[in-house]
């Protein structure tokens, strides 16, 4: 595994250091290019870190934010990552950031791919900061091991595509491997003993199709840190 593991005593210490580091990188991107881009993951792990990040004193009005993936559900659905970002990150000082969500009016995610992709045309590449999560099956973003679109998500040069996992609910929209690797800094945010166990398992092998997170952990094009805490 080429990524660097940074293990913290507990998740509060992790989130304090992590939120400060992200804020510093975003402000450095703004100082250099006039704006910065942050891609975040959904799920449960990021919420407490988002709260800390939302209070950081940076030029949030010059920050573009997107999700690395979302479930194809209405914003009123508790599974919506966009709704979670609205309530957990786009608050406090970060409320003036420019967030672009994935969900459109299209009923079927596969019909929306081109429209969603165009929404991110204005986001400068490389992205300044990309934060990934990992499921216990080794998936990341919405690139799932058991999914008909897996090969395409790992090989396409398109930035965005729809996926339909067989092991998790909902159609999804996700940034692809090549899009996520077009970044200056990658992070994997992991909290809990079970996540550490999966990480060690994943680190012991090399098949990206079995555990898509390996596509990021095993590359050396973009620096990657695993921010890990086993206790809350
Ligand atoms: O939409 C999603 O489901 C995510 O973006 C996904 O890739 C997530 O990061 C992992 O499943 C970890 O989720 P938890 O943080 O809830 O364990």
**DSSP string for residues in 11-68:** HHHHHHHHHHHHHHHHHHHHHHHS-EEEEE--SSTTHHHHHHHHT--S-GGGEEEEES
- What's the pLDDT at 156? 98
State mean pLDDT over 205-229.
97
User: Which of the listed residues 14, 41, 150 should we mutate to test ligand 1's pocket, taking the one with most ligand atoms within 8 A of CB?
Assistant: 41
CA of 158 to the centre of ligand 1 (A): 22
Residue nearest to atom 13 of ligand 1 (CA): 43
- What's the pLDDT at 19? 98
Does the pLDDT of residue 101 top 90, yes or no? Answer: yes
CA distance 148 to 144: 9
Q: At what angle do helices 81-88 and 47-54 cross, to 10 degrees?
A: 40
Domains of the chain with bracketed CATH: 4-229 (3.40.50.1360)
- What's the pLDDT at 152? 98
CA of 31 to the centre of ligand 1 (A): 31
Does the pLDDT of residue 154 top 90, yes or no? Answer: yes
pTM: 0.98
Pocket residues for ligand 1 (CB within 6 Å)? Answer: 41-45, 68-69, 71, 81, 133-135, 139-142
Cβ atoms of 114 and 106 closer than 8 Å? no
User: Which of the listed residues 133, 195, 213 should we mutate to test ligand 1's pocket, taking the one with most ligand atoms within 8 A of CB?
Assistant: 133
State mean pLDDT over 78-82.
97
DSSP string, 141-190: TTB-SS-TTHHHHHH-S-SEEEE--SSSSS-EEEE-HHHHTSBS-EEEEE
Give the tokens for residue 200: 């060690």
* Phi/psi at 226 (5° precision): -95, 115
- What's the pLDDT at 146? 85
- What's the pLDDT at 76? 97
CA of 32 to the centre of ligand 1 (A): 31
State mean pLDDT over 216-228.
97
Element (H, E) at 81: helix 81-88
pLDDT band at 232 (very low <50, low <70, confident <90, very high): confident
CA torsion through residues 145, 151, 154, 157, sign: negative
The overall average pLDDT reported for the chain is 97
Residue nearest to atom 14 of ligand 1 (CA): 43
């Amino acid at each position: 595994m080429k990524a660097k593991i940074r293990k913290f005593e507990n998740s509060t210490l992790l989130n304090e250091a992590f939120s400060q580091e992200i804020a510093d990188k975003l402000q450095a991107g703004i100082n250099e290019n006039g704006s910065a881009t942050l891609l975040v993951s959904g799920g449960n792990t990021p919420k407490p870190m988002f709260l800390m990040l939302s209070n950081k004193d940076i030029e949030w009005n010059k920050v573009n934010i997107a999700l690395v993936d979302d479930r194809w559900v209405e914003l009123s659905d508790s599974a919506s990552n966009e709704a979670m970002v609205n309530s957990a990150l786009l608050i406090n000082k970060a409320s003036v950031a420019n967030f672009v969500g994935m969900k459109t009016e299209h009923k079927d995610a596969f019909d929306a791919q081109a429209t969603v992709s165009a929404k991110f045309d204005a986001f400068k590449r490389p992205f300044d900061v990309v934060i990934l999560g990992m499921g216990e099956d080794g998936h990341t973003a919405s690139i799932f091991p058991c999914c008909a679109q897996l090969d395409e998500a790992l090989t396409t040069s398109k930035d965005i595509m729809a996926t339909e996992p067989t092991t998790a609910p909902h159609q999804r929209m996700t940034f692809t491997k090549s899009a996520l690797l077009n970044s200056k800094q990658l992070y994997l945010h992991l909290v809990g003993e079970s996540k550490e166990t999966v990480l060690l398992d994943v680190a012991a092998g090399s098949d990206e199709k079995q555990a898509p997170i390996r596509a990021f952990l095993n590359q050396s094009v973009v620096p990657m840190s695993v921010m890990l805490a086993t206790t809350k």
